[in-house]
Every structure is written in C-alpha cells, then in structure tokens.
Amino acid sequence: MNVLRISGVASRHFYLYKRSIPLLMEIFFWPVMDLLLWGFITLYLKEVGRDLPNLVLFFLGGLILWDILYRSQQGISVTFLQEIWSKNLLNLFVSPLRPGEFLLGLMSLSVFKLLAAATVTTSLAWLLYSFNIFLLGIALVPFVINLAVMGWTIGIVTISVVLRYGQEAEVMAWGLAFLVQPVSAVFYPVSILPPGLKQIALSIPSSYIFEGMRSILATGTFSWPSLLWATGLNAFYLGLAILLFYRNLNIVKVKGLLMRGGTE
C-alpha cells in the first residue's frame, strides 16, 4: 500500500471541495433534508396517533404525487445536463432554435417522462398495495398539472444556474426539488411545521397541492382555494424562472462562457 497514491485519489476531490460551494453544500444537504423530513413525519405521527384514517393512502398517495413533481423537474434538468455532458449545447445554440423553443422542447420531454413514471408507480401501487390513486377522482387532474408545472419551474431554475455557473452546480439537478420537500406538506400537513417554516410552506405551490389532496382523502371535499393558490403561485414562479433563464443566457453570452458551460 502506498499512502501517497491513496492521498492522490482523495486529494483530486479535496481540491474540488476547496473551491466549490455547491459540492461542499451537498455533504450537508442530504443529511439535513432527511432529518427535517423524517423528523416532521415522526412529529406528525406522534400527534395524530391512531386517529389518522387511511394511513397507507396518505403516504403512498403523497409519494406517487411527489414523484410526479420530481420526474417533471428531472425531465428538464437532467435532459439539459445530457446536452452538456455530450458537448452538444453549442450545436443547439448556433441553430435557429429560440430559447423559448428550447424550453418547450425540454418541457414536452418532461411530460413524457412523468407520464411514463406515473404509469409504472400507480400500477405497482395498485398491484402490490391495492392502492388506487384514482380514488381521488377528477380532482387529481388539476393538482397533477400543478405539480408538473412546479417541477418545470424547479427544472428551469436548475438549468439557469448550471448554465451560469457550470457543471459544478449540477448537484442541484438532484437536490433542489428535495429542498422544498420538507415544506411541501407531502407526508404531513403544514400545521405541523414550526412558524418560520410554515410561512415558507405557504409561499410554495406544492404545499397547497398536497393539502388539497389531503382534504379530498380526509373529508372528500375539493378545496378550490388550495387549487387557486397553487395555480397562482405556480404561474408567478414559472414566470420568474423563465426570466432567470433568459437573464443567465444573456450573462453567459456577454461573458463568453457558453462554450465552457458557464464556468469562468
């Protein structure tokens, strides 16, 4: 065994951590997110005890719907990363393709991906756990559309940052959606959150979507206010995300970073 050779393997990565905030953050990101998520789930279960009806329905439903948001986001961000990894980005931007057309192309692929993933997960949930997500009825449609749109928003924010700061920011493609998961009320209601996080949750479309879903499952009533809030916030954030993409595209063109994937 040669210590120098072993240190060579490790130091190759230490150098990266020394100057990459996204890589450094990743070390702490997942443990913190896991702790928050499972901590609030534990608190919730402790609070409701055995009073929670349809426990399986709540969790499996939440998981399947969360996956819709995540696949939608991945459909945008990972597809974009594939263009970077294959060094094809430049070919796209020297073609007459408009930035808006580029985004719409990514969005259409994301719809295909989430539909494929949702088909598999809902079928498996029905086969393995006798859980039928379609029990939610027609109300499922507007909420699922909202989840997909929120996924697009997170995806567009991710690719805007990767475009500007290069591949070292690509960890966001896997992490950014999970940043909002603890405050999205996926597995527990917003009311379980401490005041500060509650305020953040109320400014995020997904919390209204999952609260709306929970309302249908628990009481059978459709929450119009939840849907309207989710739709309004989604429209607002999607608009901001698209503006960010155009702004960052302009910055990389001014700085001449497109060929280098955003890095200076």
**Which lies closer to another protein via its Cβ, residue 196 or residue 256?**
256
Rounded distance between C-alpha atoms, residue 69 and residue 151, angstroms:
5
Measured from the CB of residue 104, what is the shortest distance to another protein in angstroms?
13
Contacts of 31 (CB under 8 A, 6+ apart): none
Which of 94, 127, 128, 138 forms a contact with another protein (CB under 8 A)? 94
DSSP string, 148-201: HHHHHHHHHHHHHHHHHH-GGGTTHHHHHHHHHGGGTTSSS-GGGS-HHHHHHH
97 binds another protein (CB under 8 A): yes
DSSP 95: S
Q: Shortest Cβ distance from residue 264 to another protein (Å)?
A: 9
Look at the alpha carbons of 256, 91, 88, 173 in this order and tell me if their dihedral is positive or negative.
positive
Give the amino acid at 260: R
Q: Distance between CA atoms of 77 and 170, rounded to whole angstroms?
A: 9
Nearer to another protein, 39 or 100 (CB): 100
State the minimum distance, in angstroms, from the CB of residue 88 to another protein. 5
User: Within 13 Å and on the Cβ side, how many CA atoms surround 161?
Assistant: 16
Rounded to whole angstroms, the Cα distance separating 150 from 230 reads 9
Q: How far is the CB of 91 from another protein (least distance, A)?
A: 6
Among 93, 200, 215, 222, binds another protein (CB under 8 A): 93
109 binds another protein (CB under 8 A): no
91 near another protein (CB under 8 A): yes
Q: Does 167 interact with another protein (rule: CB under 8 A)?
A: no
Interface stretch with another protein, choices 84-92, 126-134, 151-159, 219-227 (CB under 8 A): 84-92
According to CB under 8 A, which residues from 219 to 258 bind another protein?
250, 253-256, 258
Positions in the binding site for another protein (CB under 8 A): 83, 86-88, 90-98, 250, 253-256, 258-259
